[in-house]
Structures are given as C-alpha cells and as structure tokens.
C-alpha cells in the first residue's frame, strides 16, 4: 500500500489536469503589412485639392497681385498730386498776370486822351418792360430748370453768373455759343455757317493733342463750315479763338491783351491732323495766317472776360465790326439773360 501523502498528491494532480480546458490552436492567416493596405481618400479633400485657393502658392500670388495694384495706385496718386501742384502754380502765375494787366489797364484809364470821333455803331435794341419782367422772373426763380435746349439745362444758378460782376460759367457760355450755331443754321444765307466747340475742348486738346478729341467730331465735318468758334479757358480767364475757313486765318481774341501764340499753334496742329483723319490728305497751312487780335475792345475789370468772349463770338458770327466796349457790359448781361431764357438771339 502507498503512503497516504503520496495518494493525496496524485489525486490533486489528476483533479488539476481534469479541470484545465483544452485550448485549440486557431487557423493561421497571412500577415498583411501596413504598406499593402489600400488608402481611401475623401472626395471633398480631392475636390479642395484642385481649388487654387488651397494651393500653398496662392497666398503669395495674392499678395503679389494686390501689392502691385497698391503700388500702381500710389504712383497714380503721386502723378495726380504733381499735376495738381502744376495746375495750382499755373493758376497762380495766371492770376498774377491778370492782376498786372488790370493795373496796367486801370492806369491807362487815368490818362487824359484826346477826344475822337466815335465809330459808326449799330444801334442795339432797347430792353422793353416786358423783357425786363422776363429777366426779373428768371433772377428770382427758385432753382428749377429755366430752359432745356442744345442738350444743356440752364438753372437759376447759371443765370446768376450773369448778374453783377460774376464770372460766367461753362453752361452759360456753351449755351450762348450753341444759340449762335443754331442761328447760322436756321437763317441760312443771312449768316455764315458756324460750328462751336464746347468750353471743354481746348483744355483737352492742349493736354493730350488731337488723339484725345478725335471722336468729338465723329459726325461733324468742321471743314464744311465757314467759321469755327473755340472758347478758351485759362483757369481764371476766358478768351476766344476762331478758325476762319473762308479767310484761312486762325485768330486769338483776348480782352486783356494776352499773346497766347501757343493756342494758335495748338489749333493749327489740330487742323492738320483733323484734315488727315477726315480727308485722308495733309492740310497745307502755307497760305494760312495766325493772328493775335490787338485792335479789339479791352475789359476794365477782372470779371467780364466771359462776356467779352461771348460778344466777340456773336459779332464775328455775323461778320460785324466789333464796336462794343466795357460800358456796354451791364446791358449785355441783362440782354443775355433774356436771350438765354427765350433761347433766341436779339438782332443786332
């Protein structure tokens, strides 16, 4: 017989072995490496990857674009500032010149001159009470448009420039010039054919040459007219230039005695280029004259230059002798209010 201790040990061993579960080995699978696993891409990610804004170079490209535009704007601002300073300087010089001319003219008026026989003058129409009533109503208007013609609207503010010693504005001068043109058309045979440029023509021509105003006469043949009127604005002073096709002369009229030969040259160059553009052949100016008119009325104040320019144009358009003077300006101012409101030129 075996000893009891050995018997208990054997029984525990058997008990332990009987309670231990049998572990079955699982079937082996081939190992898949990380590099072989398929990568699934997000469709939104793919779409965004095609957009330019998600490109790493987009920000640099954007900054370069706007930096270039900002730089160009700065240069443009600088150019405009330089142009402004130049204009201010020219205006200041012109103002000084006008003041010197005024002082010179005022000194002349203090000199005792021998009396001379007055030249033959055409009697001007009297402003009747009815005309004066029209003038007063226009002056007292409350801002509405008083007349709308020639593609120009005239308001009470525009009429106000004809009162007292105010300077005439562009609207008044352009409207008056167009009345002269219309008269030459409606009264054919009595007056020569007239074409008038606007007050904006000469500054544009002077600044950029024929190319900048080439389209202004797209539907007009200026060479078919006898007389071309060119209002000339010099910042603080109005003058008039004319191109007489019949007499082949370019003339400059300045009521303060200025010698603007540059204006004559500018218009002569314009004529040559306009003729070449419209007619296909160069214009021979060998037989043309360029004149600074001297024997013309002179203003005795610093306000009536626009009035003188308008009246020069009106007299020249009917080939009349220029016989008015400074003392006629108050009458002409009132008369022009009536003429503009009624859109009719009085004769003579």
Pairing of the two strands 289-292 and 249-253:
parallel
Of the residues 225, 237, 239, 304, only one is catalytic, namely 237
Are 311 and 336 within 8 A, CB to CB?
Answer: no
Separation between Cα atoms, residue 12 and residue 279, nearest integer Å = 132
Query: Which residues, 6 or more positions from 330, have their beta carbon under 8 angstroms from its beta carbon?
Result: none
Residue 158 known to be catalytic? no
Residue 328 known to be catalytic? no
Nearest to 268 by CA among 298, 246, 288: 288
Of the residues 263, 266, 305, 310, only one is catalytic, namely 305
Q: Is the dihedral of CA 161, 162, 164, 166 positive or negative?
A: positive
Of the residues 158, 225, 233, 254, only one is catalytic, namely 254
| Cα 218 to Cα 174, 214, 221, 266, 277, distances in angstroms | 19, 7, 8, 20, 10
Query: Which residues, 6 or more positions from 86, have their beta carbon under 8 angstroms from its beta carbon?
Result: none
Q: To which residue do tokens 């219309």 refer?
A: 182
**Angle, in degrees to the nearest 10, between helices 329-342 and 170-186:** 70
Nearest to 300 by CA among 333, 326, 324, 322: 326
Q: Which residues lie across from 229 on neighbouring strands?
A: 196, 242
Q: Which residues lie across from 249 on neighbouring strands?
A: 244, 289
Number of other residues whose CB lies within 10 A of the CB of residue 225? 19
Q: Which residues are catalytic?
A: 237, 254, 305
């Amino acid at each position: 017989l075996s000893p009891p201790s050995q018997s208990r040990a054997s029984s525990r061993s058997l008990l332990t072995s009987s309670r231990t579960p049998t572990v079955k080995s699982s079937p082996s699978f081939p190992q898949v490496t990380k590099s072989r696993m398929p990568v699934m891409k997000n469709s939104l990610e793919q779409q965004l990857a095609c957009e330019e804004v998600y490109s790493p170079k987009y920000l640099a490209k954007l900054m370069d674009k706007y930096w270039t535009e900002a730089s160009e704007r700065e240069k443009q601002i600088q150019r405009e500032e330089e142009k402004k300073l130049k204009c201010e300087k020219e205006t200041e010089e012109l103002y000084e010149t006008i003041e010197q001319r005024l002082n010179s003219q005022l000194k002349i008026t203090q000199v005792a001159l021998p009396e001379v026989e007055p030249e033959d003058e055409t009697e001007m129409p009297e402003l009747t009470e009815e005309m004066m009533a029209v003038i007063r109503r226009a002056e007292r208007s409350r801002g509405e448009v008083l007349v709308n013609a020639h593609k120009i609207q005239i308001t009470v503010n525009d009429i106000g420039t004809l009162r007292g010693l105010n300077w005439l504005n562009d609207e008044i001068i352009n409207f008056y010039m167009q009345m002269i043109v219309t008269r030459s058309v409606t009264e054919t045979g009595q007056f020569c054919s007239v074409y008038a440029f606007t007050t904006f023509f000469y500054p544009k021509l002077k600044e950029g040459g024929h190319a900048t105003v080439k389209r202004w006469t797209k539907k007009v043949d200026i060479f078919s007219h006898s007389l071309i009127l060119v209002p000339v604005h010099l910042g603080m002073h109005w003058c008039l230039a004319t191109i007489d096709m019949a007499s082949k002369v370019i003339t400059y009229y300045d009521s303060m005695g200025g010698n603007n030969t540059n204006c004559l040259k500018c218009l002569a160059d314009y004529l040559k280029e306009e003729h070449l553009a419209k007619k296909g052949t160069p214009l021979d100016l060998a037989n043309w004259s360029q004149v600074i008119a001297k024997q013309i009325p002179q203003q005795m104040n610093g306000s009536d230059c626009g009035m003188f320019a308008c009246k020069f144009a009106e007299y020249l358009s009917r080939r009349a002798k220029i016989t008015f003077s400074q003392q006629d300006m108050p009458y002409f101012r009132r008369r022009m209010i009536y003429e503009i409101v009624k859109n009719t030129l009085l004769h003579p």
